[in-house]
Structure 1
């Protein structure tokens, strides 16, 4: 099935579009999200020196009906936001496309990476057009079974972990150090590696050895 990478422009009437442009040094990570016709609910991680200030501004938007902070640190907040304008989420769900989380919104743009049939890919494009959401197709690639084993992000982080000695015995780098060096949160690093490790191990134990990917890992 084709692997597709799209740069989706978040509609300007959605608060995260405006704030991600106003605060370019702040990271907005969507950890979980769901929506229906009337409201959307998303769990977010907001990372940056003004994370607290950003949360205060989120509450000022008329479309935001509730904001709950469930984890707080000096430069990070984890929050749940309810909104009355879940346009982007509705569009993705209407197209029947699973959103591979977490994803980040950077400067008003969401990078959507997914592997799906050509028919579903066409449906996604048509649905975004119908919702008036602008997007750019950055990459489409017909993948073999081994190539589609990992997402681009998973493979990239897994390679970084191997090269930096995370899987050496003894380890040359901790999870915290690895996360800092690649510029992501520890929880994100752990989550991506866990998914990638699971995919590689399942393929290794249950797949055809002649078609194994060129990534190998050893766990403690």
Structure 2
């Protein structure tokens, strides 16, 4: 089993590439999305010093057909929108390894996590190279399929939460504290923590031996 984190350079004309390059300090997260014909409906979050300005740039981009701002605070904005760009979904359908949500974009780069077999990962790399997409392998962990459960980032986040007392009843720290120990924002820590917990719960309920948690 392979667990990998990659950065993939977005096509220069992709709307999220254009907007993210205009706001290089902002973080864009695709929380969920679905393609419907020649359109895609997505739920996205922006974390930035000026979230309203970034959200406005998304709403007025020519590739965005409809945009609804669902919530906004001083440092983030949550929106539902419809786009004519469906290349991401075509890529996901072609890839042997579907990425895990959320999909992060910073300054024109996708940041994605993948989990699968060696053959599946080799197929993904071959597809990226055939498409002449620039990419960087951030981390790669290979283990026996029965021994791999969490990505390194999920394990580190869960360990930090456990160490800080996040799972105690009552809790001894906030999610913001966990995020601070990892040097990430609260939304990132929350997403990684949820995915790691979901994997552990699903794995445990299938009847696997509890020693696997060590």
TM-score by structure 2 length? 0.83
Q: What residue number does 1:149 align with? A: 149
Q: What residue number does 1:85 align with? A: 85
Q: What residue number does 2:54 align with? A: 54
Corresponding residue SS for 2:148 = helix
Q: What residue number does 1:164 align with? A: 164
Gaps of 5+ in 1: 215-220
Corresponding residue SS for 1:128 = helix
Q: 1:55 to 1:190 in 2, by over 3 A?
A: closer
Number of aligned residue pairs: give it. 212
Is 2:11 the counterpart of 1:5?
no
Q: What residue number does 1:217 align with? A: none
Q: What residue number does 2:21 align with? A: 21
TM-score by structure 1 length? 0.81
CA displacement 1:83-140 (0-9 Å, x = unmatched): 2222233212222432211121112111222111233223323333444432223333
Q: 1:90 to 1:138 in 2, by over 3 A?
A: same
Q: 1:198 to 1:3 in 2, by over 3 A?
A: closer
Q: 1:57 to 1:156 in 2, by over 3 A?
A: same
Gaps of 5+ in 2: none
Q: 1:138 to 1:194 in 2, by over 3 A?
A: closer
Q: What residue number does 1:208 align with? A: 209
Q: What residue number does 1:195 align with? A: 195
Contact 1:8 / 1:110 at 8 angstroms: preserved in 2?
Answer: yes
**Distance (Å, rounded) in 1 between the aligned partners of 2:46 and 2:210:** 42
Over aligned residues, Cα RMSD in angstroms? Answer: 2.6
**Distance (Å, rounded) in 1 between the aligned partners of 2:96 and 2:129:** 15
**Distance (Å, rounded) in 2 between the aligned partners of 1:2 and 1:71:** 37
Q: What residue number does 2:174 align with? A: 174
**Distance (Å, rounded) in 2 between the aligned partners of 1:3 and 1:75:** 31
Corresponding residue SS for 2:24 = coil
Q: What residue number does 1:218 align with? A: none
